[in-house]
Amino acid sequence: MKVSVRVPATTANLGPGFDCLGLALPVYNEITVEETVMPGSGIEINIIEDSETYDVLSIPKDENNIVYKAIELLYNFIGQSVSDIKITIKTNIPVTRGLGSSASVIVGGLIAANELLGKPADDAVLLSIASEVEGHPDNVAPAMFGGFCISSIEDDGSVSYSKIYWPEDWKLTVLIPDYELDTGIARSVLPENVPFFDAAYNIRKCAMLIDAVYRRDSELMKKCLKDKLHQPYREELIKGFKELTQLTENKEDILGCVISGAGPTILIISQNKGFEKIENEVNQIFNDLNVNVDIRTYTIENKGSLVL
DSSP label of 98: S
The mean pLDDT of 43-63, rounded to a whole number, is: 70
Which region among 58-67, 87-96, 228-237, 290-299 has the lowest average model confidence (pLDDT)? 58-67
pLDDT at 44: 85
Q: What is the CA radius of gyration of the chain?
A: 19
pLDDT, tens digit (0-9, with 9 covering 90-100), for 188-223: 999 999 999 999 999 999 999 999 999 999 999 999
Q: Please state, for a pLDDT cut of 90, what percent of the chain lies above it.
A: 82
Q: Please state, for a pLDDT cut of 70, what percent of the chain lies above it.
A: 95
- Boundaries of every domain in the chain: 2-165+301-307, 171-298
Q: Phi, psi at residue 193, to the nearest 5°?
A: -135, 150
Secondary structure class of 127 (helix, strand, coil): helix
Q: Phi, psi at residue 23, to the nearest 5°?
A: -130, 140
Secondary structure class of 80 (helix, strand, coil): coil
pLDDT at 54: 54
pLDDT at 243: 96
Q: Phi, psi at residue 24, to the nearest 5°?
A: -90, 140
* C-alpha span between 178 and 290 (Å, rounded): 10
Domain 2-165+301-307 has CATH 3.30.230.10: yes
CA 277 to chain centre: 27
pLDDT, tens digit (0-9, with 9 covering 90-100), for 113-139: 999 999 999 999 999 999 999 999 999
Mean pLDDT, the chain, rounded, equals 92
pLDDT at 143: 98
Q: Is residue 42 over pLDDT 80? A: no
pLDDT at 229: 96
Q: Is residue 178 over pLDDT 70? A: yes
Q: Please indicate whether residue 193 or residue 35 has the higher confidence score (pLDDT).
A: 193
| Predicted model pTM | 0.93
pLDDT, tens digit (0-9, with 9 covering 90-100), for 266-283: 999 999 999 999 999 999
Q: Which CATH superfamily is domain 171-298 in?
A: GHMP kinase, C-terminal domain (3.30.70.890)
